[in-house]
Amino acid sequence: MAKILLFGQAQFGAKVLDGLLGAGHQITAVCLPPDREGGAPDPTKEIAAAAGLRVVQRRSYKGDEAFAEVNPGAADLAVLAYVTQIIPLAMLDAPRLASVCFHPSVLPAYRGGSAIPWQLIKGETRGGVTLFRPDDGIDSGPIYLQRQFDIGPDESAGSFYYGTVFEPGVAATLDVVELLLAGEVAAVAQDESQATHDPLCRDEHARVDWSQPVRVVHDLIRGCDPAPGAHGAIEKAEDVTVRVYGSRVVSSTATGHAPGTIVAIGNQGMEIATGDGTVRVAKLAAGAAKKPAAEAAAQAGLSVGDRFTA
């Protein structure tokens, strides 16, 4: 049994916490951001509270006050399981065995907070997970363990994360904890010559250029699904942002329609022309909640022949 300090949140943090408790480890504290006003309870916090663990919630973990509250020196190891806050290196180095952090890419490629979306947007066919020791850079610390997985041609960021990365990522995190505690794993420096870093995937990156090749358009839509949602505006209603989800390539042959033209709307979705083919999107959010494409199109007054702006 070891003393573990956990930084984590959401379902991933909850599963890692559950695994650490199941292995008999003592949790010195569970650290996560403050509750979101009106948001659902964080599952990591719920498990921690049910187990009677000490929960620390701070907007910032910088400074002496935060260090004293967390008390990282009381732990054998700090585990970072889905962390969106900046944790000072002094806090991460304070436990006896320092810390280990989960990242959903094969580092040093795809450093940054939107690793999965960018892997899909850029058309990668292989992805994976990395467990590494954090340093003072962004996802740049030495690596303990990596595992790789195929990325399906039609997977979205959401389906790849939850269907492929999530469970193996939890298992890999728990495996590294035990290897570190047993002294059976060493950290290997990343090859900086192979490093890539991408920004957080935001609306500015998610606007669709329908004149691009069909595969480029498809990869952008699935990489931004479910968030932030690839988007555009219809020429006749440019004040309404239309977000598209559930993309499939229908044709890789030019249709004769101008890029961005709605070619068909049916039970399977909305088909839209690209630079050299068409994609079909299963769902839309047109100024309202995400709905099946035909339903959302009818409510927004969209029809065959309407066109997304360039």
Q: Are 25 and 78 in contact (CB under 8 A)?
A: no
Take residue 288 and report the two structure tokens written for it.
């309202």
Three-state secondary-structure class, residue 143 = strand
Give tens-digit pLDDT for 106-127.
Answer: 999 999 999 999 999 999 999 9
Pairwise CA distance, residues 117 & 244, whole Å: 15
Q: Domain residue spans in the chain?
A: 3-194, 203-300
Pairwise CA distance, residues 73 & 136, whole Å: 18
Pairwise CA distance, residues 241 & 300, whole Å: 11
Pairing of strands 278-286, 291-292: antiparallel
Give tens-digit pLDDT for 28-68.
Answer: 999 999 998 888 899 999 999 999 999 999 999 999 999 99
Mean pLDDT of 132-147: 97
Pairwise CA distance, residues 292 & 270, whole Å: 9
Give tens-digit pLDDT for 254-305.
Answer: 888 999 999 999 999 999 999 999 999 999 999 879 999 999 999 999 999 9
CATH fold for the domain made of 203-300: Methionyl-tRNA Fmet Formyltransferase; Chain A, domain 2 (3.10.25)
The answer to whether domain 3-194 and domain 203-300 are alike in fold is no
Q: pTM of this prediction?
A: 0.95
CATH 1.10.1740.10 fits 3-194, yes or no: no
DSSP one-letter code for 303: -
- Concatenate the DSSP letters of all residues of 219-278 into one string: HHHHHTTTTT-EEEEETTEEEEEEEEEEEEEEESS--SSPTTBEEEEETTEEEEE-SSSE
Pairwise CA distance, residues 180 & 27, whole Å: 16
